[in-house]
Amino acid sequence: MTDPLPPLIFAATHGSQSREAAALRRDARRGHLETLHPGVFVESAAWHALDPRARHRLTVHAVMSRLAPGAIASHSSAAVLHGLPSATWPRGPVHVIDPRRTRTQVSERVVRHAGPVAPGDVVEIDGLLVTSEHRTAIDVARRASFADAVLCVDALLRREALRAGAFSPGPAAWPPNREQRRERVEAAADLTRGVLLERIEASRGTRGLVAARRVVEFATPWAENGGESLCRLALLTVGAPEPLMQVEFYDGQGLAGRCDFVLGDVALEFDGNVKYDDEAMRGGRAPSAVIRAEKMRERRVLRTGGVRAIGRCDSDDVALLAPLASTLRDLGVPLRPRHNARMWARRQK
């Protein structure tokens, strides 16, 4: 469930030429209100309290309130309404599909895409018409950057695998059948991947289908969040071998730990800031306690003999690439020259 948004204020409530509407425009010039779309405002204090995703959600509501009925939120705007991740927020106008249009129209605040939308590809979110998750993923994969598109499709594959129960532990067994569980996840993701590829094949002649196919074939259900998706992309960029993700290690006491990335006989952990900064993620523990627990988990994983070393990286390392490459070299991971890097073709098992 999404958090509630602050109320929009409409100049049209009292008439666009009324004294009240003039007062709203005056308050916007003075900085008391933010103008989200001509004639649509929100209190500045409430606006600045929102994160980038919530700001875009509110802007979508503002823009669509002024469009003719039948417009459908789409592309990156639909992704944010579905809660799918992005690497580039906040950026860009609101995207909608208007089935009545024959040509796309671009303005500073809104992109009106032309074209039909099948009834099964339309859902309702927060009272707005929005393209479905599958249609949204294809639209984003066709038009967005490779990073944005991979984040979106990664998240969709994981959602569908979760909905199918593929990540559930299944019947208790010892030793645990890790390979069987991984196969269940991959099978569930392959079903979704197949649906997306079928839609791409059915849309021949549409721009961006080669890019979309590349994204769908590269995407994985194993990235637990957008940061891990970006880390996997960075590993590809620096020429690392394809990693296995979310690999579990067991000892005589049970699960010793799970590593984000395993490359041969070493592991790499991606540390998002939320792990240490977000109190809910820490479970009420102090950051120092979280760090101590991580070190104990690492020692236990290393004692299993499954990997000989564990390295760490964060979002800055991923963005800059050079620190990530240095960490991998320190771990003894061979890196291909970037100009010789190749897309990972195989699926994880």
Look at residues 195, 221, 247 and tell me which one is the last residue of a structural domain. Answer: 221
Distance CA 22, CA 100 (A): 33
Run of H or E residues at 143: helix 133-143
Helix (H) or strand (E) segment spanning residue 229: helix 226-237
Q: What is the pLDDT of residue 88?
A: 81
Per-residue pLDDT of the chain (349 residues; tens, 9 = 90+): 578 999 999 999 988 889 999 999 999 999 999 999 999 999 999 999 999 999 999 999 999 999 989 999 999 999 999 999 988 876 789 999 999 998 999 999 999 999 889 999 999 999 999 999 999 999 999 999 999 999 999 999 999 999 998 887 665 555 567 788 889 999 999 999 999 999 999 988 788 999 999 999 999 999 999 999 999 999 999 999 999 999 999 998 888 999 999 999 999 999 976 555 555 544 556 776 778 888 999 999 999 999 999 999 999 999 999 999 999 999 999 998 765 556 775 555 5
Q: Give the pair of three-digit tokens for residue 36.
A: 């989200």
Residues 84 and 186 in one domain: no
Q: Which alpha helices (H) appear in 33-97, and where do they start and end?
A: 44-48, 52-64, 75-82
127: buried, middle or exposed (CB in 10 Å: 19+, 13-18, 0-12)?
Answer: exposed
Q: Are residues 209 and 164 in the same domain?
A: yes
- Tokens 């961006």 identify what position? 208
Which of 85, 116, 147 delimits the end of a domain? Answer: 116
CA 190 – CA 164 distance, rounded (Å)? 12
Q: Does residue 22 share a domain with residue 101?
A: yes
Count of residues for the chain? 349
Domain boundary among 221, 243, 275: 221
Q: Do 236 and 216 share a domain, yes or no? A: no
CB-side neighbour CA atoms (13 Å) of 56: 25
Task: Report yes or no on 1 lying in a domain.
Answer: no
Give the other-Cβ count within 10 Å of 132's Cβ: 16
Kindly state whether residues 106 and 145 are assigned to the same domain.
no
* 211 shares a domain with 229: no
What is the three-class DSSP state of 9? strand
Structural domain boundaries, residue 80: 9-116
User: What is the domain count for the chain?
Assistant: 3
Counting Cα atoms < 13 Å in the Cβ hemisphere of 231 gives 28
235 and 349 fall within a common domain: yes
Same domain? For 236 and 262 the reply is yes
Question: What pLDDT is attached to residue 175?
Answer: 52
| The token pair that represents 240 in the structure block | 């690392």
What is the pLDDT at residue 170?
Answer: 60
70/107 same-domain check: yes
In this structure, how many other beta carbons lie within 10 angstroms of the beta carbon of residue 249? 21
pTM: 0.88
Q: How far apart are CA 132 and CA 78, in angstroms?
A: 8
* Claim to verify: residue 323 and residue 209 sit in the same structural domain: no
Q: Please, what sign has the CA dihedral across residues 49, 318, 232, 290?
A: negative
Residues 159 and 101 occupy one common structural domain: no
Same domain membership, residue 73 and residue 92: yes
